Amino acid sequence: MTEPSPDLLVVDDDADVRASLERGLRLSGFAVRSAQDGPGALRAVHERVPDAVVLDLGLPGMDGVAVVSALRAMDHDVPVCVLSARDTVDDRVVGLEAGADDYMVKPFALTELVARLRALLRRGARSAAESTVGPALGEVLTTGPLRLDLARRTVHVGERSVDLTKREYELLVVLARNAEVVLTRERLLEMVWGYDFATDTNVVDVFVGYLRRKLEADGTPRLVHTVRGVGFVLREGG
Amino acid sequence: MSAPVRRRSASLRLRVALAAALASTVVVVLVGVLASVLLTREQTERLDRSLVPGSPAVLGSFASTRADLAVTLRGPDGTVRRVSGPELPLSPLGIPTSVDVDGVAYRIRTAPGPSPGALVTVGATEDDTRARVAERRRLVTGLGVVAVALAAALGWVFAGRAVRPLRRLTDRAATLDGAVEADVPPPTVRADGSRESEELAEALTAMLARLHAEQQRSTASLHAARDFAAAARHELRTPLTAMRTDLEVLQAHPDLPERDEVLADVLRAQARVEATLTALGQLAAGDLPDADGGDVVGVADLLRLAAEDARRAHPGLEVVVEEPAGAVRGSLEGLRMALANVVVNAVRHGGAGCVRLGAHAGEDGGVVLTVDDDGRGLPAAEREAVLGRFVRGSTAGAPGSGLGLALVAQQAARHDGQVHLEDAPGGGLRVSLAIGPDRAG
């Protein structure tokens, strides 16, 4: 049985990087289109929505963050992996905050990028399949003041509604389903991102950081706790 | 580390008070000694005037009225007759002399006597005189001590007023923040009231301003270095990403039909890394200030060298070179490198087939080096931006580090000048490297 090659969109302003990635990803079994700037990327998405996007953050004019924001604003929830040529943490995470799913710092290993893209694509297909069935109506997860309505995909802390990106929401759901259970980073990578292989990334920590910031915005006591050396756990109180 | 404990010097105020006391002491001593001498002389003269010889009878009656008087008569035959008091010795005629008679100091005077050949010696004890002199001396000494004390006290008081501006200056200086903030203008120190304190305050203000300027310079260069390092890392990561991807492709697909194409891409990416590193090295070297202001470089020599470089680096390129007169003061290697970068730029990004190297006098009296090409040119909107570091024009072809024209701009700045991009007379782009008038020569 031959599946059709997943359709990838590679966005980078550097012609050499674009050419290399196009070739490398094509040889890894993807159908690759490319764009050299933000408007070009949005045009390509408008033509045909790709299965995943590999997006350079440092685009001239409309930068990668703006592209991610625009994609999410248009309700495209394709997996987006951003590429950053800067190594400061702030720059790493801005794309994720706007709704990207993962990031890699240039120069990266092509095999790593391929593995993550495949995992994100599998994961995306599965959650799409799940969402057609949908959770049982009225299924609600609560931990302390936190309330997740899985049917409506809404999150409340007390009376306050919390707006989460797709990946933040999925991470919170996994943590809430396993409330009081400590989950390792590896387990979370597998459950939320579908990364069932060893990979060197702190993307879990970054997303936990986002969750905390949003959940604790009005001074709510910490819900997502770090268990030093082990991982993370959702529970009320220390 | 603690500063070694230094013994504090005496305060300026105390020094002024002591100086006043010392000065008044000198004056008082001089005046006292003079007064004492004059007083002694005056008293002695007065005593001497009283030793006027008269007739023995008169003398006898006179002597009888004053217990301190003694009169001795000597006859021509050597007989001695004491008229009153102890026997006085002979003294030279007419000259008052001090003598000691039985332990009592006398002032005596001998004069011819009433009868021919006779001598009369009149004497008076000096005790009274000395006592009077001593009494006056004590008075003068007492007044002197009072004067000295008064001078010291007044010195203390007035010095206190005089050093008040200095004291204020000290207080102001102590409240100045030790750390000079780069973004806060330096404070102005004022201490009006005396010229010295005003001068000191001005010097202090000037020093703070210098410190502030220095601080700002080093902060700015630190920021620039940090930005530059970040940009350089960013710049190297891009070709390295392409290179790594290509190498992984080669590794994963040993029998790839496009193998040669991938290898060519790897080599191109490698060339980019190398070019960027070279340019970074040149930029770093160009950031070093010229200590001596540079050598005198003949413009014609410079252009000839640059033309040779261009012909060597780009064998297919037609190079036209003018032979202008004149010379500039600066770095031959720096200017040559700048011109080489302009030529590379023309060939690589402009697609030029011919460049023309020339020079003319600038409007401000400097020298303008020009490189005209017959290439594609550059959109006017980008002509300023491409002089920045890591900025490429939209028409640029790879590989390029984005540093070539930045290097040219740096060399221009190093020679007190600037770079200007405009349309060349024959189409294409003209890059003008203006060298400041101070450098012409």
Q: How far apart are CA A55 and CA A122, in angstroms?
A: 19
Residue B339 and residue B397 share a domain: yes
**Angle, nearest 10°, between helix axes B404-414 and B259-286?**
10
Which residue segment(s) compose the domain that B421 sits in?
A: 290-439
- How far is B437 from chain A, CA to nearest CA, in Å? 38
Q: For residue A93, what pLDDT is reported?
A: 67
Mean pLDDT of the A108-116 span: 94
Q: How far apart are CA A80 and CA B265, in angstroms?
A: 27
CATH of the domain at B344: 3.30.565.10
C-beta of residue A64 within 8 angstroms of C-beta of residue A58: yes
Place of tokens 């794309």: A95
Q: How far apart are CA A188 and CA B284, in angstroms?
A: 46
Of A20, A58, A88, the CB nearest to B245: A20
Residue B78 and residue B60 share a domain: yes
Q: For residue A171, what pLDDT is reported?
A: 94
Which residue segment(s) compose the domain that A144 sits in?
A: 134-234
Q: For residue B181, what pLDDT is reported?
A: 58
Q: Which residues pair with A226 in a beta bridge?
A: A232
Phi/psi at B394 (5° precision): -70, -20
Residue A150 and residue A125 share a domain: no
Q: For residue B122, what pLDDT is reported?
A: 83
Specify the DSSP element, H or E, that contains A231. Answer: strand A231-234
Of B238, B249, B252, the CB nearest to A17: B238
Q: Which residues pair with B413 in a beta bridge?
A: none
Phi/psi at B84 (5° precision): -155, 160
CA-to-CA dists, residue B104 to A156, A224, B40, B87, B123, angstroms: 126, 119, 18, 12, 11
Q: Does residue B354 fall inside a structural domain? A: yes
Q: How far apart are CA B383 and CA B435, in angstroms?
A: 19
Residue A152 and residue A79 share a domain: no
Please, is B317 exposed, middle or buried when counting C-beta atoms within 10 Å of its C-beta (0-12, 13-18, 19+)?
Answer: middle
Q: Does residue A82 fall inside a structural domain? A: yes
Residue B221 and residue B340 share a domain: no
- From B241, B392, B415, select the one nearest B327 (Cα to Cα): B415
CATH of the domain at B157: 3.30.450
When mean pLDDT is compared over A100-114, B40-54, B220-234, B424-438, the highest value belongs to A100-114
Residue of A nearest to B245 (CA): A110
Residue of A nearest to B230 (CA): A86
C-beta of residue A198 within 8 angstroms of C-beta of residue A205: no
Do you know the residue count of chain A? 238
The chain A residues in contact with chain B (CB within 8 A) are: 14-17, 19-21, 23-24, 27-28, 58, 83, 85-88, 105-111
Is a pLDDT exceeding 50 seen at residue B73? yes
Q: Does residue B167 fall inside a structural domain? A: no
Residue A141 and residue A69 share a domain: no
Mean pLDDT of the B171-184 span: 67
- B60 pLDDT tier (thresholds 50, 70, 90): low
Q: Does residue B405 fall inside a structural domain? A: yes
Q: For residue B1, what pLDDT is reported?
A: 47
CATH of the domain at A173: 1.10.10.10
- From A70, A35, A40, A27, select the one nearest A54 (Cα to Cα): A35
Size of interface A-B (CB pairs under 8 A): 75
- Name the strands in the sheet holding A160-162, side by side, starting at the edge strand that comes first in the sequence: A140-143, A146-149, A154-157, A160-162
Residue B228 and residue B91 share a domain: no
Dihedral over alpha carbons A228, A232, A234, A236 (to 10 degrees)? 10
Cβ-based contacts of A106 with chain B (< 8 Å): 237-238, 240-241
Q: Which of B130, B162, B194 is the last residue of a domain?
A: B162
DSSP, res B244: H
Q: Of A127-136, B83-92, B252-261, which range is least confident? A: A127-136
Residue B401 and residue B426 share a domain: yes
Q: How far apart are CA B202 and CA B165, in angstroms?
A: 13
C-beta of residue A21 within 8 angstroms of C-beta of residue A10: yes
Is a pLDDT exceeding 90 seen at residue B211? no
Is a pLDDT exceeding 90 seen at residue B323? no
Q: For residue A1, what pLDDT is reported?
A: 47
Is a pLDDT exceeding 60 seen at residue A206? yes
CATH of the domain at A40: 3.40.50.2300
Is a pLDDT exceeding 50 seen at residue A23? yes
Q: Do A110 and B244 touch (CB under 8 A)?
A: yes
Q: For residue A190, what pLDDT is reported?
A: 92
Q: Do B265 and A15 touch (CB under 8 A)?
A: no
Residue B153 and residue B20 share a domain: yes
Complex ipTM value: 0.84
Helix-, strand-, coil-residue percentages of chain B, each rounded to 5: 55, 15, 30
Residue B55 and residue B130 share a domain: yes
Residue A191 and residue A87 share a domain: no
SS3 B319: strand
Mean pLDDT over each residue of chain B, to the nearest integer: 82
Q: Do B248 and A21 touch (CB under 8 A)?
A: no
Cβ-based contacts of B253 with chain A (< 8 Å): 27
- A125 pLDDT tier (thresholds 50, 70, 90): confident
Q: How far apart are CA A194 and CA B295, in angstroms?
A: 66
Q: Which of A104, A132, A160 is the last residue of a domain?
A: A132
CA-to-CA dists, residue B72 to B121, B122, B290, B418, angstroms: 5, 7, 106, 117
Q: Of A22-36, B49-63, B362-376, which range is least confident? A: B49-63
| DSSP E strand stretches across B302-344 | 318-321, 327-330
DSSP string, B176-229: S-SSPPTTSPPPPP--TTSHHHHHHHHHHHHHHHHHHHHHHHHHHHHHHHHHHH
Place of tokens 């413009």: B299
Residue A194 and residue A79 share a domain: no
Cβ-based contacts of A83 with chain B (< 8 Å): 241
Residue A168 and residue A111 share a domain: no
Q: Does residue B158 fall inside a structural domain? A: yes
Q: Of A218-232, B111-125, B166-180, B282-296, which range is least confident? A: B282-296
Q: Do A108 and B241 touch (CB under 8 A)?
A: yes
Mean pLDDT over each residue of chain A, to the nearest integer: 87
Residue B40 and residue B149 share a domain: yes
Residue A103 and residue A68 share a domain: yes
Cβ-based contacts of A23 with chain B (< 8 Å): 245-246, 249, 258, 262
Q: For residue B400, what pLDDT is reported?
A: 66
Say which residue, B225 or B35, is predicted with more confidence: B35
Q: For residue A155, what pLDDT is reported?
A: 93
Mean pLDDT of the B205-234 span: 81
Over residues B326-351, the pLDDT tens digits come to 888 888 888 888 898 899 888 888 88
Residue A139 and residue A127 share a domain: no
Rg of the Cα atoms in chain B: 52
Q: Which residues pair with A154 in a beta bridge?
A: A149
Write b or e for each residue in B377-412: b if 16 or more Cβ atoms lie within 10 A of its Cβ, otherwise e: bbeeebbeebbebebbbebbebbbbbbbbbbbbbbb
Q: Which of A114, A132, A150 is the last residue of a domain?
A: A132
Establish whether the linkage from the previous residue to A107 is cis, with ω within 30° of 0.
yes
Is a pLDDT exceeding 60 seen at residue B63? no
- From A176, A226, A201, select the one nearest A120 (Cα to Cα): A201
Residue B424 and residue B312 share a domain: yes
Residue A120 and residue A182 share a domain: no
Q: Does residue B170 fall inside a structural domain? A: no
Is a pLDDT exceeding 90 seen at residue A54? yes
CB-CB neighbours of A167 under 10 Å:
22
Q: Which of B228, B233, B237 would best serve as a mutation to test chain A binding (most A beta carbons within 10 A)?
A: B237
CATH of the domain at B265: 1.10.287
- How far is B240 from chain A, CA to nearest CA, in Å? 6
Q: Which of B288, B308, B327 is the last residue of a domain?
A: B288
Q: For residue A214, what pLDDT is reported?
A: 92
How many domains does chain A fold into?
A: 2
- A176 pLDDT tier (thresholds 50, 70, 90): very high
How many domains does chain B fold into?
A: 3
- How far is A17 from chain B, CA to nearest CA, in Å? 5
Say which residue, B191 or B245, is predicted with more confidence: B245
Q: Do A107 and B268 touch (CB under 8 A)?
A: no
Q: Of B73-77, B288-292, B313-317, B340-344, which range is least confident? A: B288-292
C-beta of residue B316 within 8 angstroms of C-beta of residue B401: no
Q: Does residue B19 fall inside a structural domain? A: yes
Of B240, B245, B399, the CB nearest to A21: B245
When mean pLDDT is compared over A81-90, A228-237, B210-219, the highest value belongs to A228-237
Residue B221 and residue B154 share a domain: no
Q: Does residue B337 fall inside a structural domain? A: yes
Residue A127 and residue A151 share a domain: no
Of A20, A27, A111, the CB nearest to B242: A20
Q: Of B61-70, B246-255, B279-288, B346-355, which range is least confident? A: B61-70
Phi/psi at B254 (5° precision): -65, -25
Rounded (5°) CA angle B133-B137-B143: 150
Residue of A nearest to B265 (CA): A16
- B136 pLDDT tier (thresholds 50, 70, 90): confident
Q: Does residue B169 fall inside a structural domain? A: no
Cβ-based contacts of A111 with chain B (< 8 Å): 248, 252
Residue A119 and residue A208 share a domain: no
Write b or e for each residue in B423-441: b if 16 or more Cβ atoms lie within 10 A of its Cβ, otherwise e: ebeeebbbbbbbbbbebbe
Q: How far apart are CA B168 and CA B193, in angstroms?
A: 10
- How far is B326 from chain A, CA to nearest CA, in Å? 43
Q: Does residue A197 fall inside a structural domain? A: yes
Residue B152 and residue B224 share a domain: no
Q: Do A24 and B248 touch (CB under 8 A)?
A: yes
Q: Does residue A1 fall inside a structural domain? A: no
Q: Does residue A29 fall inside a structural domain? A: yes
Residue B156 CB partners (closer than 8 Å, separation 6+): B13, B14, B16, B17, B20
Mean pLDDT of the B131-150 span: 88
Residue A122 and residue A25 share a domain: yes
Residue B349 and residue B274 share a domain: no
